[in-house]
């Protein structure tokens, strides 16, 4: 059988197991297994069904073992969420989803202990209710008995790695999303955690991309029909892996990882922890290779996904290709929404939320699903223009090229609108950048590829990369969105 490495790539809406093999100067990837990932609401909380995910991963490993000689595997997931183990190493409860309401208002409560600017200065991360630190603070207040039982906190990829190997670790890139690292990113910020009444000992020692976590447990290897398999630490935060697969050797590229979240940013040599970066709401996160991802989290395809799901429940299922076609007939519709408004982070009733926002700003409602999706796509593009302008003003490293990865780059409409709004050349692809970045770390670790430059060449030779140039100005829409944002602020304060 052919030797391969496996990427276990868990997103907030689906997971997949992907095998990768080198063929000459190209990389061949085979999606072995794909499965849904939906949070489960139970007893007033929103949980991730991590045991279901683990079982699906084992199914993927079994299928991979039937076709390939698996040399290694690595796991990446979204950031901030975690599981807690007791002293015996057993999971106390399913991990809680970052969209759970338990952190509502927690920033205000923490402000009585330390200011939000100070918290940014202490960690280099913008305070956000979804961050691990806020989740821990909420847990300490609401369910202190759970924290008292907890012996170890493991971020989601580290938790899956623990299930597979029995080894506990705190991978650097995923930990950098938590707001629990010191600003030098050399370890857990013990003084900060203690100040908030939290135990630094909850965290395992920091480990880094390229290190081996351990071997697959013998019983799991036997169950899945595998031999000895190394479980390697990749950039365990999915965005860290995605950016590692950008098809460029530019040392400071502008990027947009467009999935459920739109994560925009720039790769820099050092963190930027200043008053200006605090006001902008950026975070300094880790990357394979030790550089800094200066990132800003914006609402992404979550709004599209929620609208699509809601229409399906109403008996109107549409594929993404059908949505693209419908938008072609809807471009006379001019409604815009502030996609960064807090209401669009919420779960459910998204179409009604869009209608409420349009009514509040005196705009006509969409009459067709095509107009609804056109409104969201165009609004996302204009919002990204505003965000990139602010980012480039901060870093003083402007670029005429924007690298776009993730599921969003499959939309020709979104690619073109982002190019038009930003005025930049948009280089889109690879779509499966997260899995490829995961794979890249393993290929270098296994000695199958020499360095990152060789990875970039493999990706350029193997993946569909689409370049989109600006066609027409969106200045009128940009100015209208600024007015709408001001109206929405007034509406929220009323």
Phi-psi region of 459 (alpha: psi -120 to 50; beta: other; left: phi over 0): alpha
Is 15:8 a contact under the CB 8 Å cutoff? yes
List all residues 6 or more positions away from 234 whose beta carbon is below 8 Å from its beta carbon: 7, 74, 75, 76, 209, 241, 288, 437, 438, 440, 441, 442
DSSP string, 14-71: EEEEEEEEEETTEEEEEEEEEEE---EEETTEEE--HHHHHHHHHHHHHHHHTTEEEE
How would you classify the pairing of strands 2-10 and 14-23?
A: antiparallel
Structure tokens at 434: 């997260």
Task: Give burial (CB, 10 Å; 0-12/13-18/19+) of 25.
Answer: exposed
Any idea what DSSP says for residue 83? E
Q: What angle do CA 235, 237, 242 make, to 5 degrees?
A: 70
How would you classify the pairing of strands 68-76 and 425-428?
A: unpaired
Helices 412-422 and 369-395 cross at an angle (nearest 10°) of 40
DSSP string, 322-370: HHHHHHHT-TT------TTSGGGGSSS-HHHHHHHHHHHTT-PPPSSHH
Task: Give burial (CB, 10 Å; 0-12/13-18/19+) of 203.
Answer: buried
| Length of the chain as a residue count | 494
- Positive or negative, the CA dihedral 240, 6, 29, 50 is negative
- Positive or negative, the CA dihedral 417, 418, 424, 427 is negative
Percent helix / strand / coil, the chain, rounded to 5? 45, 20, 35
**Residues acting as catalytic residues:** 238
CA-based max dimension of the chain: 66
Comparing CA positions, the residue from 174, 167, 188, 172 lying closest to residue 89 is 167
SS3 267: strand
Give the Cα separation of 469 and 472 in Å (integer).
Answer: 10
Is 491:363 a contact under the CB 8 Å cutoff? no
SS3 467: strand
């Amino acid at each position: 059988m052919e030797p391969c490495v496996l990427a276990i790539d868990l997103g907030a809406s689906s997971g997949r197991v992907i095998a990768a093999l080198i063929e000459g100067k190209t990389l061949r990837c085979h999606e072995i297994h794909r499965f849904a990932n939906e949070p489960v609401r139970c007893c007033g909380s929103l949980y991730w069904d991590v045991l279901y995910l683990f079982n699906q991963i084992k199914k993927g490993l079994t299928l991979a073992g039937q076709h390939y000689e698996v040399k290694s595997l690595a796991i990446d997931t979204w950031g901030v969420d975690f599981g807690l183990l007791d002293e015996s190493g057993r999971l106390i409860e399913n991990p809680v989803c970052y969209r759970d309401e338990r952190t509502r208002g927690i920033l205000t409560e923490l402000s009585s202990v330390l200011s939000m600017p100070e918290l940014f200065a202490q960690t280099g991360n913008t305070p956000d209710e979804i961050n691990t630190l806020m989740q821990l603070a909420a847990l300490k207040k609401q369910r202190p008995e759970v924290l008292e039982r907890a012996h170890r906190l493991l971020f989601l990829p580290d938790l899956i790695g623990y299930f597979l190997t029995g080894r506990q670790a705190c991978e650097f890139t995923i930990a950098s999303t938590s707001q629990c690292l010191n600003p030098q990113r050399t370890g857990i910020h013990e003084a900060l955690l203690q100040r908030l009444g939290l135990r630094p000992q909850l965290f395992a020692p920091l480990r880094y991309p390229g290190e081996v976590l351990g071997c697959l447990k013998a019983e799991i290897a036997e169950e899945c029909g595998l031999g000895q398999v190394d479980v390697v630490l990749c950039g365990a935060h999915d965005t860290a892996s995605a950016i590692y697969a950008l098809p460029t050797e530019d040392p400071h590229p502008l990027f947009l990882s467009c999935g459920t979240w739109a994560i925009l940013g720039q790769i820099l040599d050092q963190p930027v922890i200043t008053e200006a970066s605090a006001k902008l709401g950026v975070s300094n996160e880790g990357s394979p290779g030790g550089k800094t991802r200066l990132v800003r989290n914006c609402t992404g395809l979550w709004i599209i996904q929620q609208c699509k799901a809601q229409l399906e429940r109403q008996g109107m299922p549409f594929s993404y290709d059908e949505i693209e076609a419908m938008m072609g007939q809807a471009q006379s519709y001019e409604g815009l929404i502030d996609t960064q408004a807090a209401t669009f982070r919420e779960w459910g009733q998204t179409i009604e939320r869009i209608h409420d926002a349009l009514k509040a700003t005196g705009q006509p409602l969409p009459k067709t699903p095509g107009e609804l999706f056109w409104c969201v796509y165009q609004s996302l593009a204009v919002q990204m223009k505003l965000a990139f302008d602010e980012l480039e003003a901060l870093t003083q490293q402007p670029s005429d090229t924007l690298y776009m990865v993730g599921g969003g780059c499959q939309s020709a409409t979104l690619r073109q609108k982002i190019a038009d709004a930003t005025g930049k050349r948009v280089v889109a692809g690879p779509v499966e950048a997260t899995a490829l970045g995961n794979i890249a770390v393993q290929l270098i670790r296994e000695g199958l590829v020499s360095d990152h430059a060789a990875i970039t060449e493999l990706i350029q030779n193997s993946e569909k990369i689409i370049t989109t140039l600006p066609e027409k100005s969106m200045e009128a829409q940009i100015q209208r969105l600024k007015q709408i944002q001001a109206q929405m602020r007034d509406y929220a304060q009323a």
